Structure 1
Amino acid sequence: MNILSMADSTLQIIHYLASRYCAGRRTGTGGWKRAQEYIIQQMQDLGILPFYGESYLQPLPHLPENIEGANILGYIPGKGRLKNRYIMIEAHYDHLGTDDDELGYYPGADDNAAAVGIILRAAGHFHADPPQADRRSILVACFDAEEPPFFNSPHMGVERFCEANPEVLNAIDLAVFLDLMGHGLGTGTHEKIMDSFFLIGGEKCGIGPVLNQLETSVEGIYPRRMGIHAVPPSGNYIAFKNRERPFIFATSGRNHFYHTLFDSAEKLDYPKINRLVLYFSYLLRDLSTAPRKYFTYIPKGAADAESLKSLKEMFRVMDPETPNLEKILNYIEKAEKICETNGNLPLPEQSKLLHLVKLIEQYVS
C-alpha cells in the first residue's frame, strides 16, 4: 500500500491542527497534547521512524512556570556512506492558545499548522520514492516553545535541541526551517506575487546552485531568494545562525491575520500549499545527495544580487498604480549595477532592501 495514502492529506493535517479540538496548541495545554499525538500518528502513518529509540519526543524540562513542553522528531534513514549525515526539515507546532478574554482560540493555521502539514507530506513523498544513490538521512522536526513567552530565549525548543544533541547538530549538513507558509501574497495580485515565497540564508552555506536549479521545478510556485539581512529576523533558524550552522529559512512573510483569532484554516491557499509540498520533496531529494562542498558555513556570505533580482521580479508585475513604483524599479536597477561592480551593496544600501521587503508586505496585505 502507498504510505502516502495511509496518512491524512495536507489539508486534513492543517484543519485538524487549527481546529477547536487543538485550541491554539499553546505549549503544555490539552490542545497542544492532542496536536502532538496527532503529529506523531502522521509520522507513523508516513513511515517516518522515531528519532529517540522508540520515542518521537524530546521532553523540555524546566520551562518557566513548570510548563510541560516537548519537541517531536522523526527520521527517514539514509543510505551508504552518507547515511550518518542529516538534512533537517522543521516547522514549529506550538501556537498562542486561547484568548485572555475568552472570546475564542488562536487557530494558528498559517502560523504554523500549514508548515507542519507541508514538511510531513514532503517527507512522505521523499520516503515513498527516495534517491537510489548514497543519501543523507532526513530528520523531520516539529519544535516546541517557539511562540511567546519562549521566543528568543534559551527555553525555545530549537535551543534545547541544539544544547542537548551536540553530536546530532554536528551531523546536520543543512537545516530547512519553514514558517508562515500557508497564505498567498495578497488577493487579486499577480500570480508571480501571490504564489511567491522567500528563501533566506542560502548565501551563508553555498547551497545556491541547488536552489537555483530548483527555481522552476514546480509550475506555479516562485521561490524568491533573499539575503538574510533583507528580512526581519524571526523563527527557529536563529539558533542555527548563531551557531554558524548551515540553514535556509522559507517563509511567505506575515499577513494581516498573523497572531489573531482569524488565522483560520479556510483562509489559506491550498493549491499553493500543495505545490509547496512538491517543491520541498524535490529539495529534500537534491539535498540528500548533494556534494559536501555546498554545506560549509560562510559567515560573510551575502546575496544582494539575488535579493534585488527577486524584488525586481515582484515589483515589475505589481499594479502600475502602486505608489512610487517607478522610483522603486529605478532604485533596483541602480543597485544592481553597484552589485555588478562591487559584488554586494554597501551597508547603508543594504538597509533599503529590508525597506523594500516591508513595502511588499504592505502592498499585498
Structure 2
Amino acid sequence: MKTYFTVLLLGFLIGCGSSKVEQEVVLNETARASSSTTTSIGTESDKSELTHANDVPIRSFNIAQEHFSNNEKVAEIMNFLASDELQGRETGSEGIAKAADFIETSFKENGIAPYFSSYRDTLVNFDQPAFNIVGFVEGKDPLLKKQFIIIGAHYDHIGTLTEENGDSIANGANDNASGTTTVLELARYFGAMRDNRRSIIFALFSAEEKGLIGSKHLAQKLKGENLNLYAMLNFEMVGVPLSGRNYDMYVTGYRNSNLAEICNRYAKEKLVGFLPSAADMNLFQRSDNYPFFSEFNVPAQTFCTFDFTNFNHYHKVGDENALMNFDHMASIINKSIPVVKGIANSPIKEIIWHR
C-alpha cells in the first residue's frame, strides 16, 4: 500500500507541474521507499556497507538526471556571469565581487554549506582582495564521507581590453562562465538530492587567469589540513560543442588515468574522449586541476569542449553569451550528474592514476 501511494503521489506532483527540484526529491524518496526491492550493486562484501548507508543504485535517478538542467536555467546563470555589468570579472575588481556574491547566494539557496567558516576563502598569495568560493555537501556514508571529491572551475576572467568594434569588455562567457555554471548546476543537484556517499567540495576559483593562483592557494590550504582527497574534477570552457568528434568532452591528462573509461561507463555512452592536441599543448598543467595533482598526487583532471578550432574568441572581447550553446551546456551538466554520482558512491576508488 505504501509503494502504491508513493507512486500515486509521484504521478500527481509531476502531472500537476511541480518544480523540477520537487519532482527530484519525490523521486529520491520513492527510490528510498522501494530500496528493499531494488537490486544492490557491488560485491557480496559491499552489500552490508551499501545497506548500512541506505544507498540508492545509480539507475534510480535516471529521469531526474536527464532532465535536471535546461536551457532556461543555464541562460539565467550565464546571462549574469557574462554580462557587461561584471566588466570581465578581473580578479580584485568590483565585477568579480558581484560574481562572488551571486555564487554565494546560489550556494545558500541550494543547500550547499560553506566548507570553511564562510564561503569565502581569501587568497593569501595575491596582492589585492580576492577569494575563492568554497562549499560542500557532506557524504551520507559514515566511512566514505571522510573521502572528498572536488568539483571546480574558475570564475574570474581578464577584465577589459583595448576597444574593438566599440567593445572593450572581455565577458568570458566560454572562459569560464560556462565552467562556473556547470559547477553551480551540479551543486544545485547534489544540494537537492544529497545522495552522495563521499563528501563533495564545490570550489569556484579566483585568479586562474593570473597563473592558477586561486587553485594553488586552496590546494595548499587543504593539503595543510590533511584533507583526504580522492579526485579533483575541473570544468573549463564547455560553452560550445566540439565539432567532428565522437565524444562530447575531452579530458586533460587522458593517458594518465582511467577517468575517461569510468566516466563513459557511468554515462552509458562515449561522453569523454582523447584530444591529441590537448596532450601536445600540455593542457593538463594549464588549468586549475594541476595544483591539486601537484599537492596531493591524486587524479585531478579537466573536462573541456574547446579544442582551439571551434571557438575563435579565446581571451578576446568576442567571448559573449550570444555565441554559447545553452542546450549543449545543459546536456553536459545532465550527462555529468551520473558520472559525479557514480564516482562519489562507488565502494572503492575506481579512478587509477598511472604513475
Distance in structure 2 (CA, Å) of the matches to 1:27 and 1:177? 19
Answer yes or no: is the 8 Å Cα contact 2:262–2:351 preserved in 1: no
2:65 alignment partner in structure 1 = none
**Aligned-residue offset at 1:248:** 2.4
Distance in structure 1 (CA, Å) of the matches to 2:327 and 2:223? 38
Which residue, out of 30, 36, 41, partners 2:100? 36
Which residue, out of 247, 250, 253, partners 2:300? 247
Name the amino acid aligned to 1:105.
I
Answer yes or no: is the 8 Å Cα contact 2:148–2:227 preserved in 1: no
- Comparing 222-231 with 29-38, greater Cα deviation is found at 222-231
**Aligned-residue offset at 1:168:** 5.3
For the aligned residue pairs, the C-alpha RMSD in angstroms reads 2.6
**Aligned-residue offset at 1:165:** 1.9
Answer yes or no: is the 8 Å Cα contact 1:182–1:273 preserved in 2: yes
1:108 alignment partner in structure 2 = 172
The residue matched to 2:206 in structure 1 has which SS? Answer: coil
Q: How does 1:1-365 map to 2 (within 5 A)?
A: 4=21, 9-53=73-117, 55-63=118-126, 66-79=127-140, 80-101=142-163, 103-131=167-195, 135-147=197-209, 150-151=210-211, 156-166=213-223, 170-186=227-243, 192=245, 196-201=248-253, 203-217=255-269, 222-225=271-274, 229-230=279-280, 232-233=282-283, 234-243=286-295, 244-253=297-306, 254=308, 255-299=311-355
**Aligned-residue offset at 1:172:** 1.5
Name the amino acid aligned to 1:196.
D
**Aligned-residue offset at 1:216:** 3.5
Distance in structure 1 (CA, Å) of the matches to 2:216 and 2:289? 10
The residue matched to 2:251 in structure 1 has which SS? Answer: strand
**Aligned-residue offset at 1:294:** 2.2
The residue matched to 2:105 in structure 1 has which SS? Answer: helix
The residue matched to 1:292 in structure 2 has which SS? Answer: coil
Distance in structure 1 (CA, Å) of the matches to 2:354 and 2:348? 14
Distance in structure 2 (CA, Å) of the matches to 1:258 and 1:4? 35
1:22-44 superposed Cα distances (whole Å, 9 cap, x missing partner): 11000011101001100111111
1:327 alignment partner in structure 2 = none
Distance in structure 2 (CA, Å) of the matches to 1:211 and 1:225? 13
**Aligned-residue offset at 1:74:** 0.4
Distance in structure 1 (CA, Å) of the matches to 2:347 and 2:260? 12
Change (3 A) 1:224 1:62: closer
Distance in structure 2 (CA, Å) of the matches to 1:160 and 1:169? 14
Answer yes or no: is the 8 Å Cα contact 2:91–2:157 preserved in 1: yes
Distance in structure 2 (CA, Å) of the matches to 1:51 and 1:3? 26
Distance in structure 1 (CA, Å) of the matches to 2:108 and 2:226? 24
1:69-91 superposed Cα distances (whole Å, 9 cap, x missing partner): 10110001111211121111001
- Between the aligned residues of both structures, percent identity stands at 22
Name the amino acid aligned to 2:305.
S
Change (3 A) 1:163 1:94: same
